[in-house]
Structures are given as C-alpha cells and as structure tokens.
Structure 1
C-alpha cells in the first residue's frame, strides 16, 4: 500500500515539476539534452551515464528527465533517472526516500525485461540496505544481481562492472558479519576484476575494504599498506570523498598503533571536507573517531563534544555501530573523570546499541543463505565436472567405466569428508562455547562478588572513602577485564598478570592485607609478547587462598614464578605456604557446607583444547611442600604450557 501511494505521489510531483520547468529555471541546454537522449533512445546504460552524469546530483533536473521519459514511454531513461535519485538520497542518508526511488527503478526494469538495468537497481538496493545494516535484504539483492549477471552469456564491460559491484557487496556483508578472511577473498577477487577493467573507483574501494579487514584482524602494517595503495590510485581518480574515507581509515590504524597525535592531525585535516560533502553518516564517523583520539590524549572536554555530535547524528540516522562506539568512548571518559553515574548511563546506551546490531534472526538467515550459496556453487562445479567426464568418456570409451566410478567415488569421499569436517567443527565450537561459559561462571561466582562488595561496603560504613573508591575502582576494573578476557582464546601474559593482581588485591581485603603476594619472572621473558590462555591462573590462586591460607595462622604467602626452560614452552609456578592438601581435605570433611570447586577441572579442559590447537602438550603438576622437619609447608602448582 505504501509503495503504491509513494508511486502516485511521485508521479504527481514529477508532473508538477515538468509543467513548471520554465518557471523553475530548467536550463534550456539541459532540456535539449534530455529531448535528444529520449529521441535517440540509447540501448546501453553507459550512454545515460556519460550524458547525464554531470547533472546526477541535481534532483530537480533528474525529476524533469524522469517525467519527460515517462511521457515518451521511454522506460530505460526513466529507470536511469529513478536510480540516480535513489543514489542521491542514499548519499544524504535519507534511506527511506532512497529505497522508494530504487524500488520503482527495479519494478520498471523487471517489467521491461531489461536485464542490465535490473542488475543496476538490484545492486543499488543492496548497497542501500547494507548502509542501513539490514543484512538479510542486502544479501538478497546482491546475490540476485550476481546470479543475473552470470546468466548473461556474453557480458560487456558494463555488466562485468556490475557483477563486480555484487561481489564487492557480498564481501562487505562478510565484513559486517566479522568473517574477515572470507571478506578479503571476495574483495581480492573484486580488486583483480576492477584492475582488468581499469575501474579506478572500484580499485580504491577494494583497497579500503581489504585494509579495514586487515585492521580488524590485527594486521595494522598490512592495513596501512593497503590504505597507501588506495591513496596512490585515488591520485589518478581525483575523488575528494575517497581521499577523506582513506585518510579516515589511516587515522584509525594510527590510533590503534598508539600514535594518537598523528591520527589527530589527519582527522583535523579531513574534517572541513567531511562537513562539505552533505553526507551525515561520514561526518558522524569522523566526529566519533576524533572524540576517541582526543580521549586517548586525555583532552576529555574536546573529546566529549565531538562524541556527542557524532552520537546525535548517528541516533538521527539510526546507525547502531556508531551509537555503540560513541557511547563506549563517552563511558570511558566519564569513568576517567570519576563521573560514575554518567558512565553507567552511557554504558547502558552502548549495550542497547549492541543489541540492535546483534539481530539473531538476520544473522541466522544470512548464515543459512551463505551455506546455501556455497552448496549451490559446489553443485555447479560438480555438474561441470560431470559434463567434462562425459566428453572424456566419448573420446576414451575403453576407460569410461573406470573414469565414471573414479569421479563418483571422488565426489562421494569429498562429500563425506566435508560432512565429517563440518560435524567436527560444530562439536568443537559447541565445546569451546560451553567451556567459556563455565569459565566465566567460575571466575564470577556469587561468593566472590558478594564478599568483595561486602568488604567495600565496610569501608563505606566506616567512612573510609578513599579506600572505598580505591577498591571499588579495582573491583570494576577486575570485572571488566574478566568479561573482556572471557571472549578471547588467548591474551598476553602481561594482561593475565594484571588481572590476577587485581583479583589478589580484592581478595586481600578480607584477609586484612595479610597475604604477601608477588610475581617473580625471569628477566629475559617479555610478558607483552608471550600469549597464554585467558584467565588460566585465577582458579589456582583461588584454591591456594581458600584451601591453603584461609585456615592458616601467621604468615600467609603466595608467589607466582615464571620461567622459560624449554623453547616454545613457558613454566608458571603458583606456590603458597598454606596448610597443605592433606590438612585441607580433613578440614573440608568436617565442614557442614561443602563448597564444590570446578575451576581446576575447567582449566584442565581449556588447556587441553589450547594445546591441541597448536599441536603441543601441556602438563599440570601439583606438589606438596615440606620443611626440614617433614611438616607440611604449603603447595606448589607447576603449569607447563605452549606459547604462541
């Protein structure tokens, strides 16, 4: 209903514009150009692009051309006009108007059975939905455009370019789904095609896309190299917009490389151009990036101003990714300034934005469509192989039975291996997810949370504000680190040590700081370069405190010793001077409430998975320590794990 209403209103508006062309100041030379095009009725899209390209951003002229084409029943011309109007409003982030124009273009192209213009409309609709982060609809349109372009037997350069646009669009969808490896494959394929076609605009876009994926994968050097390639090609293209987008990406990489001052210089240079483009989405991106970089430089007031501007535009345009980023950075600023209530509000807004992004139905649909697409491709490949086998059979009749059986066996084995591999992958992913959830529950058990908050509450009751704020900051930082680390497979040793130090600080409150905790590490080990499984030490420290030190009188001591005795392995020793395992077991039997600890078992399983991934073994050895008189002197846990 809405679609038909829009079409009616659209025709009325365009008719009014056409009848008042002279009064509205439609230039005479443009009217002559439009008349000549309509009389010539060119068959291919490039003719319209060449003639009308300079006027494509002028909505009044495009609406006039559409109306004249409609009066003359010149459907291809009208389709071109509707498409350009849709792109114009898309660039202004007026997505609803853009979709309406593009939908009319697609409908007319379908009715006129014009495959080239239908491919254009499908791709432009895919781009519009992708910009709105409507993944399902974007994938539908790009895949239909790709299939239609591949059905044309002898495509010209124009169809090849549009086919490439569809490939690039599917790559962008993989990128939005954070499937960066697959995305890079599509972008590389698109880049090679654009290089063959001499399409500079497409080359710049693909270099930018590959750079973004490499940055997301942590390859900052590779990302910067591709951005430099984009700048190099753009010198020949001469696009100010591409220049701004590329330099924005370079600033993002520099910020991640802790070169905030250099990033700020680039962003301040491109900001005037970004404001001049009348593209609010691009401007919002630049504002948010500027705010982030300024916050890294501790220029919080300026950072807050840019972030609030970026957030306002993002909310007006409904851009969940930008809203999430802006709210997260504002949360960090308010935390740094001690404005905890404001920080909580920004954190809640960030979580809400993330929920908008994580639309399970869309993602499930996309994964199903991706799987279907891959299966269809394999079926096509099998059909091609089958036809080739038929030709071979005709030429070599004597070997036809052997070839047929061999081909069938190969297909069967391939399918069986693929099914087994997928089943193994799904089981492994399910097991890892279960372990991660169990690990998070063990790290964030209710006893620890309740006791920690209770201890901080005592400081507040006793009016010890400095201690309360000090330990509350440590507690919030610990919770945040545990939540962040729980989603990572491995982290630097330095971050793991920082987390356990926070954990020990919080636990020590309840022991009146009686526990003497220290880390002793060989000087040749660089903890920032060594990576280990995340949150691997905390269960052992928890055991040492609750089973070894909690019932001990006198000096309480825990040491973490870090050594590198064998190449490719690191040895971690957790040593305490507690009552020992034998005495701890006796005490445990006498307790009415027996606390079940699953942390060590979960840790063993996680270490097994970690070592299996890197084809190395790990060892856990638990020793009882005794003094010279043979009395228990504590417990020692020795972990020997592979490093990456």
Structure 2
C-alpha cells in the first residue's frame, strides 16, 4: 500500500484546523473542498482520517471526496479492485449528498479505472453517465466543465484502445479546448500526449513527437513525475521507430527508473516493454527477453491487457530471431487472443452507439435550456397572456404535427439508408476476403519476408480502416475513392502473385477532391472483374479504370478487364455449383439510386461484353454518376 505521510507539525496542525472548519461550515462546493484538501489528497493516512471524521459528523460530501482520493491512490499502484470498491462507495455518498459535481467526479474516476484495465464497456458507461449528468446542468460550474473535459478525454482513450485514431483525436481536441479555456496545465499535458499517441498510430511521427514535447513542457511546469514517465516512454518510442537508438536509450532508461520509484505497475510494465524493444532492435536478445518477460509478468498480475498483448508480440519476435518458432507462435497467438478481447466488432458498435447517445443527450439538454429561457421570457409578458398562450399552443401543436410528419418521412429514408450502409459494410468486410488476405500476409511472415509482410500488413490495415470510415460516411471525394480502390487492388493482387496490371486514368479537367460520389461504390465492379473475369485466365491480366467527363454534370467511370467474359465465367460457376452472387451490384445500384435523388438526373450503368473476332475478350462497365446537385442537399 502506498503511504505518503507528512511528519511536519505545522502541516498536521493545518489539517486538523481544516477538519474543524468543515465541521462548522460543511461546504457543498467541490471546488472549496478540493482547495482545502488538495495539498494532502495523496496522503492516505490523512484521507482515511478525513473519511472517518466526515462519517462521524454525517458530512457526505467529505466522505465522498476522501473515498475518491483513496481510490486514486490505489489506482496509481495498480490495485484496481480496491480502487473500484472505493470509487463505488464514493458514488453512494455523492447520491446521499445529492451533489451533481460529486456524482460526475465519482463516475469519471470509475471510468478511468476500467479504462486502465482495457475493459471497454463499463469504462464507456461510466463516462457517458457522467456526461449525461454534466450536460443536464443548466449553469455548469468550473468543476462540471472540467469533468466534461475528463469524460471526453477518457472516451478518446477508449477509441485509442479500439484503434479508432481519428475519432480519438476528435474527442481529445474537444477536451483540449476546455482545458485551454481554464488554463488547466495537467489537462493540457494529458491531451497533448494523447493526441501525440493517436498521430503516432496514424504514422505521423514528427507531429506525434511535437505533441509529446508539448506535453512534457506542461508536465515539467507542474512538476508531475508520472507525467514525465509517460512522456519519456512515448518520446523514446518515437526514437525507436525512427531508428535513433542512441537517443532512445537514455530517455527509456530514465522512464523506467522513475516508474520504479513511483511504484505504478502500469507504467513499470510500459517502461520494461520499451526497454525490451530497444534491446531487440539492438540485437541484445538475452536482455530483451529478460525485460519483456518482466513486463509480461507485471501485466498479467494486474490484468493490463494492452501491455500483455504488446509484450507477447515482442517476445514472439525474440523467439523467432532465436529460431524458436514454436514458442514464437505461442506468444503471437496469445497476443492476438488478448487483442481480440479488446478490439471486437461488438465493442466498436457499442462505442459508436454510446457516443451517438451522449451527443444526443447534449443536444436535448441544450434544447431544454433554451425552452427554460423561453418560459422565463413568457412569464414576464403579462399583456395579452391568454392570446399568447393560445397562439403558442396552436403553433406548438402545428409544429409537432409538422415535425411528426417530416420525422416519419425522415425515419423511413434514414432506415433505408442505414440498411444500405449495413449491407455495404457486410459486403466490403467479406470474411473470406479478410481471411485470405491475412493468409497471404502470413505466408510472407512464415517465409521470413519481413519487408513484404510489413508492407502488405500496413496496406491491409489502412484498407480496413478506410472501409470502416467509409461505412460511417455518406459520401466521399473521388480522390479518396480511387485511393481506396488502389489499396483494395493492391491487397487482392497478392493472391494473383501480382500478375494483374491495374491502371487508373483520370481526366485532368476533373477536380477529384471536390467531386463527390458514394463511398466504396466502385469496389463491387472491380471484384467482379477479378473473380469472374480474370481468376480463370492464365496470364496477361489487365484492369483499366478510367474517369472522364464526357457529358456535362456527369462523370463517367469505365472499368475494363481483358478476362474470359461473363458467359464463360457463368459456365465455370455453374460447373462449380456456384450461384452468381450479384448482391454487391444490387446494393450498389440501390445506393446510387438513393444518391441520385439529390440531382436533376439519375445515374446510368451499362455492362458490355467485349469480343475480338467473335471471341470473348473481356468486360466493360460504364457508370455515369451525376455531379450537379439540386439546391436541397440529400446524401447517401
């Protein structure tokens, strides 16, 4: 147990005077309570004394404050079970005190503990409950505003655990804005570091390093030792990726030294992982294995899932270097299994659902606040009271009727759009495609072709991220669509031994950044060309994608392959007892039809069989997509 006690008579006397003060005044404001006990909040003995004293005088606010402070102390030494128990008790006292500030703070503290344990759902539940209460406060205090920033930061961290980096950055920027307004240096340090982490995951190493250094400056300003540990580890990690091992070594070792002094098992595990990775890069395999096993033991003891996964991955690489392939495979499987408990489709969907819910709660509470202001104004109008009342009721009834009518139409349209988006995502995230792509990448790993393995793994992860993002977007730029198609073809080409010659030609007069089309609309046609046209062909496999502007207010997309043609492909499928799966094309047609509703004219699609001297020589798809929208915006 961590004990931070002061033997100074003056501090002890001051603390006793603080107890006398709260006995007389029993302040209700969190800010006042915190200003009194902030200097001793990390002293477990004094917090236990405050808890006992508050219980004796039935001062629920003080009991709640002391329990939360003790919960943080236990959290910082990775005793998460005890920390959760204390924060739950604090929440009970906050309910007794009927204090929104204390409820919000207690819920956030519970969310932070579960987040540190990588347990996504309860973490998100507690933070969104805190946000719901915070947004319901009409005139929020500084404490409530600060806790909104804490909740948004923690939700951003949950997105990090789920590898949703752009969504995480969005949450961190929301939190950062609040911290800047209040000049909270600790909050600024935390958010700049988290933004750096997300940028690092996106491959923007220089941007990440800049944010880490900003975070370190703020941690130095507030003399936060644990903040320095976090920043040193992150900066060392950047140096590792930049292969600056000489610069990485001292900062990583300093991080470990400080983490051991703090006795925070979470950051001790992280520091051992960084040190082991450095030694692995420098071919110091014995030392690397030793430190990575220490990290793994700590992570397993305290159920730190992310650290368990990371240390297993690195131990897999160490054993692979030592030609101990059986152990390498066992470590790698363990890493994948742990990751799957964090990064699941259910968790992703759960996060998205909850995020939408709390955003709606925010909007609803803003509407309630406006309604309250309008009610106040209405009460001041004494003249023509009955006329105003009856007129208002009539207008409200009319507005409700119109709203219900429009809402019904909108819901029907949104339901149709949602169905199309879900069908599109299922079609793009074909399990066979993912399984076969990973198998292809696995062959590179087995053959020790690390360059190609890393290259295609990066391509594959980027494609999956784009597909997930596309499923949330209603439309995308032509440029992004073409980039995604290049990634898709690059991955699929692995299975064709890179035999396919895929070319993209775009008319220079077309502004691909401005031109909008439905996301992932070209993929089903490319997939058909691959698997129906080219898969049964021996050699000389080509697919040409041409974008032109032959008709005003339209772009024309032509996808041409030199495959065996639709008739021959249909015969092969019949022999294999395969049905012609046109689901992807049908979904695409429905999405194009919905997209075209915002335009004066609809899309057109033509599929043409090509012949050379009456011999099938391929297939050509011609798709014309409208670009000049009506004034009323309507998107897929």
Tell whether 2:13 aligns with 1:32: yes
Aligned to 2:497: 505
Does the 8 Å CA contact 1:496/1:535 hold for their aligned counterparts? no
Following superposition, the deviation at residue 563 of structure 1 comes to: 6.2
Match of 1:558 among 538, 541, 555: 541
- Offset of residue 33 of structure 1: 3.5
Structure 2 CA distance for partners of 1:439 and 1:583, relative to 1, 3 Å = same
Higher relative contact order (CA 8 A, sep 6+): 2
Deviation digits for residues 512-558 of structure 1, max 9, x if unmatched?
xxxxx452758999xxx999866974542333455555xxxxxx432
- The one of 245, 270, 273 equivalent to 2:230 is 245
* Maintained 8 Å contact 1:485/1:534: no
8 Å CA contact 2:420–2:591 kept in 1: the answer is no
Q: SS in structure 2 opposite 1:505? A: coil
Q: What's the secondary structure of 2:244's corresponding residue?
A: helix
**Contact 2:608–2:619 (CA under 8 A) maintained in structure 1:** yes
Select the residue among 539, 555, 561 that pairs with 1:574.
561
> 8 Å contact 1:183–1:213 — kept in the other structure?
yes
Alpha carbons of structure 1 residues 631 and 168: separation in structure 2 relative to 1, 3 Å: same
Question: Cα distance, 1:186 vs. partner?
Answer: 5.5
Unmatched 5+ stretches in structure 1: 1-12, 18-23, 457-465, 507-516, 550-555
Q: Which runs of 5+ in 2 are unaligned?
A: 468-480, 514-518, 626-636
1:256-281 deviation per Cα after TM superposition (whole angstroms, max 9, x unaligned) = xx634389466455443334332221
Asked if the contact 1:161/1:197 (under 8 Å) is kept, the reply is: no
For residue 553 of structure 1, what is the aligned residue in structure 2? none
Match 2:142 to one of 156, 160, 163? 160
CA deviation string 1:435-492 (max 9, x = no partner)? 454556585599x99x99xxx9xxxxxxxxx9x9699x99999999879856742665
Equivalent position to 1:353, from 334, 338, 343: 338
Aligned residue for 1:542? Answer: 531
Q: Deviations over 1:566-610 (max 9, x none)?
A: 69988664324x5x656666x659x76543343x66367459859
Which residue number in structure 2 is paired with residue 279 of structure 1?
264
Question: Helix, strand or coil for the counterpart of 2:42?
Answer: coil
Q: After alignment, is 123-132 or 399-408 more displaced?
A: 399-408
The whole-number CA distance in structure 1 between the counterparts of 2:254 and 2:302 is: 25
For residues 485 and 639 of structure 1, the distance between their equivalents in structure 2, rounded to whole angstroms, comes to 25
Do the aligned residues in 1 keep the contact of 2:132 with 2:361 (CA within 8 Å)? no
Q: What are the superposed Cα offsets for residues 57-112 of structure 1, whole Å, 9 maximum, x if unpaired?
A: 34345445555666677765555443322211111110112223333444445445
User: Measured at CA, do residues 227 and 33 of structure 1 come closer, stay the same or move farther in structure 2, by a change above 3 Å?
Assistant: same
Give the stretch that moved more between structures: 205-214 or 615-624. Answer: 615-624
By how many angstroms is 1:343 displaced?
A: 4.4
Residues 603 and 347 from structure 1, CA distance in 2 versus in 1: closer, same or farther, beyond 3 angstroms? farther
The alpha carbon displacement at 1:316 in A equals 1.7
1:634 CA displacement? 3.1
User: Shift in Å at residue 27 of structure 1?
Assistant: 5.7
Larger Rg: 1
Distance 1:285 1:639 in 2: 54
Kindly report the root-mean-square deviation, in angstroms, between the aligned alpha carbons of the 2 structures.
Answer: 5.5
Q: Superposition pairs for residues 165-204 of structure 1, below 5 Å?
A: 165-173=147-155, 175-177=157-159, 187-204=172-189
Q: TM-score, normalised by structure 2?
A: 0.68
d(CA) in 2 for partners of 1:354, 1:284: 17
Aligned pairs (5 A) from 1:10-25: none
Q: 8 Å contact 2:502–2:544 — kept in the other structure?
A: yes
SS in 2 for 1:124: helix
Q: Return the match for 1:207 from 192, 198, 211.
A: 192
2:519 equivalent to 1:519: no
State how far apart, in whole Å, the 2-side matches of 1:252 and 1:618 are: 51
Deviation at 1:201, TM superposition (A): 1.6
Please state if 1:602 is matched with 2:584: yes
- Matches of residues 136-155 of structure 1 in structure 2 within 5 Å? 136-139=121-124, 141-142=126-127, 145=130
Equivalent-residue separation in structure 2 for 1:386 and 1:289 (angstroms): 54
- Deviation, structure 1 residue 289: 5.2
